[in-house]
């Protein structure tokens, strides 16, 4: 449906392990609708997730275009991995299938990449890490994305990955105090590896951070993931 205003309405959707969230915007800072959420089907196979996704999208009309943040690697609109969802996702042309179902243009991007677009200022080396069911990560250089970083599945310490040490299962097992100590070690290591100018930390479990972090580390609200979906349609200079 075409907007009667000059600025198109972008619907942005964030698919998580526990919930699927959506909201419409004219600009990143100008939401049109309230944020709505539906539960992620379990088991989270691609058929039920697609149906839940389309159901949420239909509730948020009118819009001109859609951005979807997906918890895994996405290349050319085709899913390559979905570590925190269930079933066989590799090779699913999710962008095409959603676009066909809703009759509007769709862009699909890794969920941490989308959240990064909502956080960055576009200067220097900027990173974002997100904590929820798993751990997402994205890196930008002067506002340009290095896509599908998937840092959460890289080795971190004691033979385990960042996600294994800092994901929801780890937090539930060790508690917030020890989780915060692990986070400090992770931030220190990432600074030495990537020499970022700014690191943003987001996701639902960012609320558990109760420790002092370096001055170039910024905790961001989870809502920026949805506003980041608008920027995906804007020229890089924006």
The domains located in the chain, with CATH, are 10-113 (3.30.420.40), 121-225 (3.30.420.40)
pTM of the model: 0.89
Please name the residues in contact with 107: beta carbons below 8 A apart, sequence gap of 6 or more. 65, 66, 67, 68, 77, 95, 232, 233
Kindly report which listed range (136-145, 206-215, 218-227) carries the lowest average pLDDT score.
218-227
Q: CA-CA distance, 23 to 59, in Å (whole number)?
A: 10
Under the banding of pLDDT at 50, 70 and 90, the label for residue 236 is: low
Cβ atoms < 10 Å from Cβ of 59: 11
Q: What pLDDT shows up at residue 237?
A: 52
Instruction: Using DSSP, state whether 166 is helix, strand or coil.
Output: helix
Q: What pLDDT shows up at residue 55?
A: 97
Residues 56-66 have a mean pLDDT of: 97
Q: Does the structure show a pLDDT above 70 at 182?
A: yes
């Amino acid at each position: 449906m075409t907007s009667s205003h000059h600025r198109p309405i972008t619907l942005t959707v964030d698919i998580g392990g526990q919930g699927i969230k959506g909201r419409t915007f004219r600009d990143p800072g100008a939401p049109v609708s309230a944020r709505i959420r539906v539960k992620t089907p379990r088991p989270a196979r691609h058929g039920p997730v697609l149906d839940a996704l389309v159901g949420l999208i239909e509730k948020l009309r009118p819009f001109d275009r859609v951005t979807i943040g997906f918890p895994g690697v996405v290349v050319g609109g085709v899913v390559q991995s979905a570590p925190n969802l269930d079933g066989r996702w590799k090779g699913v042309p999710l962008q095409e299938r959603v676009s066909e179902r809703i009759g509007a243009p769709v862009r699909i991007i890794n969920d941490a990449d989308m959240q990064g677009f909502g956080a960055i200022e576009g200067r220097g080396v900027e990173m974002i890490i997100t904590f929820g069911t798993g751990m997402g990560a994205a890196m930008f250089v002067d506002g340009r994305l290095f896509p599908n970083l998937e840092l959460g599945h890289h080795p971190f310490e004691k033979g385990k990955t960042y996600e294994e040490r800092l994901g929801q299962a780890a937090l539930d097992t060790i508690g917030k105090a020890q989780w915060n100590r692990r986070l400090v070690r992770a931030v220190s290591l990432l600074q030495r590896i990537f020499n970022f100018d700014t690191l943003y930390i987001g996701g639902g479990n960012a609320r558990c951070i109760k420790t002092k972090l370096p001055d170039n580390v910024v905790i961001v609200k989870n809502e920026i993931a949805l506003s980041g979906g608008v920027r995906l349609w804007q020229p890089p200079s924006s």
